[in-house]
Chains A and B, each alone.
Chain A
């Protein structure tokens, strides 16, 4: 029995069928990379897995049970990084992150370590509005390290990151997978992930 599984998903936006008959199975420590041209449904698939979007048909399954019956348990299981960073420009970095950690549960003790990894410890008390786009993205990504969620759902996580930070992101994903975590991500940049499963969405 696979740990995390999508079965026969069908997604429609408006009248258009984005994909149909999409299935995959993931075990501990595996990574799934979503590929496909613009509009092929990479974001839609991630949003379905996060429970933000309902599939027209099909099911998302965790340890043999559908996740849609117990949404709050499912929400505890994953961290979602979308196109937007969900940070408030007037609050400081630590205020922004602490809020989400308190809502989601996680270890605030990891915060210093996490900020160091993303090279943010010097700007900790600065309101976010003074940061660059790449720094804001990093603030969004800090949630990943502080949380204790098994699944990471990452929609274009490397947007506006520089090369050093992309490498750091690759390291962090590797560490997470070593601890048995599952990573599902969509990307246009070539993130280097060891033996990741590729899913070409154009063919669905």
Chain B
């Protein structure tokens, strides 16, 4: 557990020193969302109806943008290969790295999402649902994405490849994340949708670290 916290602490410290990485993700998220009102025009009803979907799709894209940072610098400076020969279970180390990545890239998105929701004229009933679905859904994105981030290590043009590989796997999270918010706005119970995202989260927590660790061992070979 101490070693788990050491890895997490170091990744947070590194993110703090290189604050631009997190800022770029937040700026990209904001900018993508700001494009929709410009494109759709001043029709408040359309914006209102599509606002949960817009925010969720932007969150998906922002997550893809941030994923290549998860292991790439460690891979390039030799930290990853050294991490693979430490007396710590690699799967546990991977969970620490995913948690660090989520805290530094996804959490800021969740924090600013209500402001962006306000721009898109999201109905009042939707705010809590949006926060809850993003809080439950973005860890799924980081978990699923970690597998892709580990697989494309060392590949040429890794980021576009990563997007092609991972975006299709994000679809279930997107569908149930948006429908949870929609259910709340329409006055239905969001519970079934949250249960399904929770299920994906638990499944990802059990499986993704195994797959990611295997891909990392392959990458450093």
Contact = CB atoms under 8 A, between A and B. Distances in A.
A86 B81 contact: yes
Interface stretch (B1-9, B156-164, B170-178): B1-9
A54 interface: yes
Nearest to A105: B87
B142 to A, nearest CB: 21
Given A54-B221, A83-B78, A90 B14 contact: yes
B69 interface: no
Contacts of B73: 88
B89 A72 contact: yes
A91 B17 contact: yes
Contact of B86 (A83, A85, A104): A104
B78 A99 contact: no
A84 B73 CA distance: 12
Contacts of A102: 2-3, 6
A33 B79 CA distance: 25
Contact of B14 (A47, A85, A91): A91
Contacts of A84: 76-78, 81
B85 A85 contact: no
Interface residues of A, number: 29
A75 B86 contact: yes
B218 to A, nearest CB: 11
A88 B221 contact: no
A76 interface: yes
Given A90-B14, A102-B2, A103-B88, A52 B78 contact: no
Nearest to A140: B78
B82 interface: yes
A19 interface: no
B60 to A, nearest CB: 29
A52 B17 contact: no
B87 A76 contact: yes
Contact of A85 (B13, B17, B77): B77
A82 interface: yes
Nearest to B93: A103
B84 interface: yes
A95 B16 CA distance: 14
Given A53-B221, A104-B87, A91 B78 contact: no
A51 B221 CA distance: 9
Given A54-B221, A102-B6, A90 B78 contact: no
B10 A86 contact: no
Contact of A90 (B3, B7, B17, B221): B17
B18 interface: yes
A204 interface: no
Contacts of B3: 102-103
A60 interface: no
A73 interface: yes
A86 B81 CA distance: 8
Nearest to B84: A52
A82 B82 contact: yes
B112 interface: no
Interface in A1-57: 47, 50-54
B23 interface: no
B220 interface: yes
Contacts of B79: 86-88
11 contacts: A75-B87, A78-B85, A80-B82, A84-B76, A85-B78, A88-B77, A90-B18, A91-B10, A95-B13, A102-B2, A103-B6
Interface of A: 47, 50-54, 72-73, 75-76, 78, 80, 82-91, 95, 99-100, 102-105
Interface of B: 2-3, 6-7, 10, 13-14, 17-18, 73, 76-79, 81-89, 220-221
